[in-house]
Structure 1
Amino acid sequence: MPTVEVGDLKDDDFLLDVREDDEWQAGHAAGALHIPISEFVARYGELTEAAPQDGRINVICRSGGRSAQVTMYLVQQGIDAVNVAGGMQHWEAAGRPVVTDAGGPGFVV
């Protein structure tokens, strides 16, 4: 499984958050694209439109399980994708910003 550590991500790296809506609303990484895993197949086109054509897709969830499933699917499609180790729990623990849609401070549920 291709994996990246939170500390190795740059601020402008493309991030796909596959957590469910309630988790996203509580807090997420600013600039991330949100497509819940439960809607991923139906909304796959949104990813192909938003993702950089020649860049890597960094997939994140709460702890790394759901994002691993999506990462494997993307890799099977020939897409350069990696799972963010430890997910949003590690993101928050590393001191990376977690925000709400309104731009205020958020938290990981």
Structure 2
Amino acid sequence: MGFLDFIFGTKKRQVAKFLENDAIILDVRNKSEWDAGHIENALHIPLNELNNRVGEVKKLNKPVITCCASGVRSAKAAKFLNMNNIEATNGGGWVSLKKKL
């Protein structure tokens, strides 16, 4: 197993673990990106709105898998959610995450 396999295999296992625990998918891309395509049944809260809408996510009382276009914004979102006592992991880009589902 190479280094990249180790890193990406770990992410895949983490996503699978979250899905087993009834996680929700949170897409943090902007509206035009969302409108161009998204994962069915995902929750859409753009990253720039997440601070004001974190209560909505808390009320769901479920673990969260964040996604965006490439994984950068979703990493920031997962870190922010974890800092607000919400179990979250970065699912990366939405297209690759959709393939894992």
The verdict on a shared fold, with TM-score over 0.5 as the criterion, is yes
C-alpha displacement of 1:4: 3.6
Q: Where do 5+ consecutive residues of structure 1 fail to align?
A: 97-109
- Taking only the aligned residue pairs, the percentage that are identical comes to 35
Gaps in structure 2 of 5+ consecutive residues: 1-9
**Deviation readout 1:47-77 (Å, 9 max, x if unpaired):** 223x2x2x31111111110010011111112
Task: Tell me: CA distance 1:45–1:23, structure 2 relative to 1, closer, same or farther (3 Å).
Answer: same
Map residues 11-50 of structure 1 onto 2, 5 A cutoff.
13-49=23-59
CA RMSD of aligned residues (A): 2.5
Q: How many residues end up aligned between the 2 structures?
A: 89
**Which of 64, 67, 71 is the matching residue for 2:71?**
64
Moved over 3 A (4+): 9-13
Instruction: Give the Cα–Cα distance (whole angstroms) in 2 for the partners of residues 4 and 56 of structure 1.
Output: 15
CA separation of 1:43 and 1:77: change in aligned 2, threshold 3 A: closer
Q: Secondary structure at the match of 1:63?
A: coil
TM-score with structure 1 setting the length: 0.67
